[in-house]
Structure 1
Amino acid sequence: MEHIDKMKNSNFNPVMVKLAIIIVMILLLLIPVSMIKSIITERESQNELVTEHVSSKWADKQEIKGPILTIPVSFQTIDKEGQLFNYEKNWYILPDQLNIKGDVSSKSLEKSIYEVIVYGSIIELDGHFDLKKNLNEPQIKEIHYDNAFLTIGVSDLKGIKNQLKLHWNDEAILAQPGSQIQGVVKKGVTVPVKIQQGENYNFKLKMDLQGSQNLSFIPLGATTNVDITSNWTAPSFVGNFLPDNREISSEGFTASWKVLQLNRNFPQEWLDDRANNHQLYMDQSRFGMDLIVPLDDYQKAMRSSKYGIMTIALTFLIFFLVEIMNKTRIHPLQYAMVGLALCLFYILLVSISEHSNFNFAFGISSVGIIGMISLYSLTLFKNKKLSLMLSLILIGIYCFLFTTLQMVDYALLLGGIGLTIILGATMFYTRKINWYQLQIDTN
């Protein structure tokens, strides 16, 4: 008793000590919050592995490159010893006009508790080649027009679901598997064609193609037009060119591109010795779209966990204000149990959302945690009105968090405004407290 009296008569303030303990507890609760973030990251990584596995079986990202007309050319030269030396190169010619139309239908596949977005598509290619070009190279022996062939690049060949038949002027020609120009097109199909110098050739090809996550194109035409329609409502347009026109609605999207040869850094024709450089520039000119979930459940759960420290601090602030204003003593261990209950919310959110809708999981988790803390506060506060006020504040916090999670573009703005309002309200309701004279009853 004598030691307590000395403490009361000195500058010792139990309120400040209690506040320091609460702050330390908040910092310690960052450990379970960090562990929860690790769990979310682990589950998200598992989801990505499942996505990759399903995509590898269905068909992976698809890139359409072509058609490219290849004509073998024989050269003859004389070496230093005066002997004739023969060798061959490929002459690559790109279409003067390339039109691509695609109808992309997305669907979801389920594996265990995970959902993977894939697509099926009908891709139509048409255009024409102008063979009035001349190859102005020295030492040409012969241009083998009779051995010419077209190559259409498809990055994942198992996604092709129909026999490919190329219409070359009035002739229908079946495609053969594999690419014969892997320095330019690594994977694809080959179509032998009959050509003559100085003629124009029209081509048309229809392709039933499966894929997942992404569909992209290489603008090989002197003029390349791409028109895509899809039932997917959340496309992300990626690559070197954005659509000239786009419309996105609740029923899907349409997008169109027009790319000129002047917009890319490779020519309309070249020989083998320049193929590697042009291959690099082709890849750099890629464009298309990702079929993505704009904000999946794991991303939402991770974003919500970043507000964990805010939720814990605000809840502890309410308990602390009740303690000093209502002369109610709350043990640090009771603060700890409330803090752990708040951390448990995120575990419930992730685990339930893996088996149901995220919004439903958020509702169930928040109702459970709010109910648990509110019932616990009845014993601590011994005041139904204070417990009801705590419940309403917690409901407000979780409603604010839920609204913020639904926002993508304005989440930071809403979060900043909300936190400013919360701090302002706290300052208003505590403005008349004399913190120097405030004491906690130690009897």
Structure 2
Amino acid sequence: MQKTLLIKALIVFGLMLLIGLPLLMIQETIKERMQFRQEAVDSIAADSVREQTIIGPILVIPYVEQYDERVEIAADKDQKSSVPARTEVQRRVMQRRLLVYPNNLLQTGTIDTDRRYRGIHQVLVYSGQHAFKGDFTVPGLEQLPRKTPEARIAVGQPFIALSIEDVRGIRNIPKIDWGGRQIEFEQGTNLFAFRSGLHAPLGAMPLVAAQQVKFSFDLGLSGIERQHFVPVAKNNQVSMKSNWPHPQFGGRFLPSPKYRQINAQGFQVEWDISSLASNAQTQLSSIEGEFKVPDSAPLGQVDRFSVGFIEPVNVYSQSDRATKYGLLFVALTFAAFFIFEILKSLPIHPVQYLLVGLALVIFFLLLVSLAEHIAFWMAYVIASAACIVLTSFYLTYVLRSAGRAIGFGVALTALYGALYGLLNSENNALIMGSILLFAVLAAVMVVTRKVDWYQVGKGVAVSPAKAHD
């Protein structure tokens, strides 16, 4: 009766939910492997060099401001209240700094990539050669900010600061050409907030009047996976080329479309950024501060852009996406079995449902384990072929027909092919998945259009012997 059909449907549904448990365990395994891979990245970064962020060059002019301030002195408490308060002049001395940013900054970089390994995990590292050139407008003495117009100014030793996130990546001792003078960079930026990096002492500068000074220098810099830049100049032009064919651009600014070339031999791109489009100067001046010394440099608060040297296919993210379709695989297969039972009156035991479901689930574990050692597409072909062959062989006996088993094998092959298409078309995954589900539902409706559902319940779970009686 219909009660038998309902019970069988509930059993199949319960088995499908049960299969979801090993799927969840596989997803947790993938997350653990992703964590292991991140630990490999952190280990290589700790032993060699981290991601790099370049800030600068910035001209820093330290100076001492002295000015007189009239201060009101209250009367002593012991004196009578009739005694008026008095005023006196006190001299104030204030240590100040002026950050001067380039007018124009042209940066040209060539970056080569290589691989480092920790066990089975590989990480991309890079080595770059960067050429900087541009100009500063050095202010005159009268243009330095001061508390009062009468304040006396004593200028210290100006210097060029270049912040580099991890100085272990510096591959040379750069020299800056400052208006025709060759000055060697020294360790440390001498900034308050962004301490890691280099500085070039410029010596005494009279600052009689504003003047324009041109500069240039070369910098060899290595890093891991990503290179970040902060657009500090009024006009920034950054050109970069590399042998890596799969760059990932990030941050607040993308390369100019007309100067963007990416092919199998590498990429060549260019950024054109003006200070009108970026708040980097304001942010840096605020963080560095004139009166406050921050405890750390919050790089995340500064406008920047970046290029990433990362493998285009992350086997763990791909495998994790694949497992999200695992329950759909099991549901479609169980639905096919259930319909087969109805149409052919051939009972399939719940244990047989369970074994076929586990065979489908083991595919995802095979996929991630193989993908750690070989290309993802090869791992996918091997894992899917193994599961299809195993399932087809088993169904030859369950369905009592090699032809029926081959039919199910063909259907599974089509299903695995559709899943691979979903994984490689992330932007179109939703529409492709919707079309797949619609096609499956349409096929089920066409196949079962003549089924008398009021009668099928009588024989769904009936054994062959009882059916004969």
TM-score (norm 1): 0.91
Separation of aligned partners in 2, 1:282 and 1:173? 31
Structure 2 equivalent of residue 209 of structure 1: 221
Q: SS of the residue aligned with 2:61?
A: strand
Alpha carbons of structure 1 residues 282 and 312: separation in structure 2 relative to 1, 3 Å:
closer
Equivalent residues in 2 for 1:23-34, closer than 5 Å: 23-34=13-24
Higher mean C-alpha displacement, 242-251 vs 67-76: 242-251
Separation of aligned partners in 2, 1:73 and 1:181? 14
Q: What is the letter of the counterpart of residue 293 of structure 1?
A: E
Q: What percentage of residue pairs aligned between the two structures are identical?
A: 29
Which of these residues, 184, 188, 198, is aligned with residue 197 of structure 2?
A: 188
Q: What is the letter of the counterpart of residue 175 of structure 1?
A: F
Q: Is the contact made by 1:71 and 1:143 (CA closer than 8 Å) also made in structure 2?
A: no
Q: CA deviation at 1:93?
A: 1.0
Separation of aligned partners in 2, 1:253 and 1:38? 36
Asked if 1:232 corresponds to 2:244, the answer is yes
Which of these residues, 391, 406, 424, is aligned with residue 388 of structure 1?
A: 406
Structure 2 equivalent of residue 106 of structure 1: 113
Equivalent residues in 2 for 1:43-122, closer than 5 Å: 43-78=33-68, 80=71, 81-122=88-129
Q: Spell out, residue by residue over 1:9-56, the C-alpha distance to the aligned partner (whole angstroms, 9 max, x if none).
A: xx4442332122111110111111111111111111111111121123
Equivalent residues in 2 for 1:420-431, closer than 5 Å: 420-431=438-449
Q: Spell out, residue by residue over 1:121-175, the C-alpha distance to the aligned partner (whole angstroms, 9 max, x if none).
A: 1111110112245225225423426x11110010111111111111112222111
Q: Is the contact made by 1:74 and 1:140 (CA closer than 8 Å) also made in structure 2?
A: no
Q: CA deviation at 1:345?
A: 0.8
Structure 2 equivalent of residue 302 of structure 1: 320
Asked if 1:144 corresponds to 2:162, the answer is no
Separation of aligned partners in 2, 1:319 and 1:269? 69
Separation of aligned partners in 2, 1:368 and 1:280? 51
Structure 2 equivalent of residue 255 of structure 1: 269
Separation of aligned partners in 1, 2:387 and 2:4? 30
Q: CA deviation at 1:338?
A: 0.9
Alpha carbons of structure 1 residues 251 and 413: separation in structure 2 relative to 1, 3 Å:
farther
Equivalent residues in 2 for 1:150-189, closer than 5 Å: 150-183=160-193, 185-189=194-198
TM-score (norm 2): 0.86
Asked if 1:129 corresponds to 2:140, the answer is no
Q: Is the contact made by 1:242 and 1:287 (CA closer than 8 Å) also made in structure 2?
A: yes
Q: CA deviation at 1:275?
A: 7.4
Which of these residues, 384, 393, 406, is aligned with residue 424 of structure 2?
A: 406
Q: Is the contact made by 1:322 and 1:381 (CA closer than 8 Å) also made in structure 2?
A: no
Equivalent residues in 2 for 1:306-317, closer than 5 Å: 306-317=324-335
Q: Is the contact made by 2:67 and 2:152 (CA closer than 8 Å) also made in structure 1?
A: no
Alpha carbons of structure 1 residues 111 and 136: separation in structure 2 relative to 1, 3 Å:
closer
Structure 2 gaps of 5+ residues are 72-87
Separation of aligned partners in 2, 1:128 and 1:318? 72
Asked if 1:273 corresponds to 2:285, the answer is no
Q: Spell out, residue by residue over 1:308-347, the C-alpha distance to the aligned partner (whole angstroms, 9 max, x if none).
A: 0111111112222222222222110111111111111111
Equivalent residues in 2 for 1:333-412, closer than 5 Å: 333-412=351-430
Q: Is the contact made by 1:218 and 1:283 (CA closer than 8 Å) also made in structure 2?
A: no
Q: SS of the residue aligned with 2:136?
A: strand
Separation of aligned partners in 1, 2:299 and 2:362? 51
Q: Spell out, residue by residue over 1:73-118, the C-alpha distance to the aligned partner (whole angstroms, 9 max, x if none).
A: 1111335353434332112211111111111222221110101122
Structure 1 equivalent of residue 350 of structure 2: 332
Q: Spell out, residue by residue over 1:200-252, the C-alpha distance to the aligned partner (whole angstroms, 9 max, x if none).
A: 22111111111112211111111111111122223222222222232222222
Q: What is the number of equivalent residue pairs in this alignment?
A: 430
Q: Is the contact made by 1:218 and 1:282 (CA closer than 8 Å) also made in structure 2?
A: no
Separation of aligned partners in 1, 2:300 and 2:119? 39
Q: Is the contact made by 1:100 and 1:124 (CA closer than 8 Å) also made in structure 2?
A: yes
Q: Is the contact made by 1:91 and 1:272 (CA closer than 8 Å) also made in structure 2?
A: no
Q: SS of the residue aligned with 1:232?
A: coil
Q: CA deviation at 1:280?
A: 7.1
Q: Is the contact made by 1:243 and 1:255 (CA closer than 8 Å) also made in structure 2?
A: yes
Separation of aligned partners in 2, 1:210 and 1:281? 19
Separation of aligned partners in 2, 1:382 and 1:241? 63
Q: Is the contact made by 1:219 and 1:285 (CA closer than 8 Å) also made in structure 2?
A: yes
Q: SS of the residue aligned with 2:337?
A: helix
Q: SS of the residue aligned with 2:455?
A: coil
RMSD across aligned positions (CA): 2.3
Alpha carbons of structure 1 residues 312 and 282: separation in structure 2 relative to 1, 3 Å:
closer
